[in-house]
Amino acid sequence: MRSDTQTAHVSKKMLWAGRILSALPVLMLLFSGVMKLVKPAAVLEGFVGLGFPESFALGIGIVEIACAVLYVIPRTSVLGAILLTGYLGGATATHVRIGEPFFIPIVLGVLVWGGLYLRDERLRALLPLRQ
């Protein structure tokens, strides 16, 4: 029996679809955040190419990981989704500014909210998508 009120009225199929959809951006963001903490040469070169000093890598990596962790925790998942939306918006703006393709942060944002929508009854009640 589930004690989590967030998943109380979610079918098992919808819950698992939401978890899988949510796992994709979380895994990508955690990997990206860890790479910013480890700071391999390619990541530091990428930072310079994006117009950021190398010293920003640590702070941005910590923010990225913290937002992803907040998103994974059921009680803070909506806050995490909101923070990830801001983070990914900044990533989109950065790529637009330098003329690089910017669809990846947008797709990640859609996956964040789509996964949360499927696994959180409160969000579906707030944003009903009915015919």
120 phi and psi angles, rounded to 5 deg: -125, 110
Q: Are 21 and 111 in contact (CB under 8 A)?
A: yes
pLDDT per residue as tens digits for the range 12-38: 999 999 999 999 999 999 999 999 999
Global model pTM greater than 0.75: yes
The full DSSP string for 24-37 is: HHHHHHHHHHHHHH
pLDDT per residue as tens digits for the range 56-104: 999 999 999 999 999 999 999 999 999 999 999 999 999 999 999 999 9
| Angle of the 12-38 helix axis to the 56-72 helix axis, nearest 10 | 160
Retrieve residue 55's tokens.
Answer: 């010293």
CA distances from 93 to 21, 87, 88, 99 (A): 24, 10, 9, 10
8 pLDDT more than 70: no
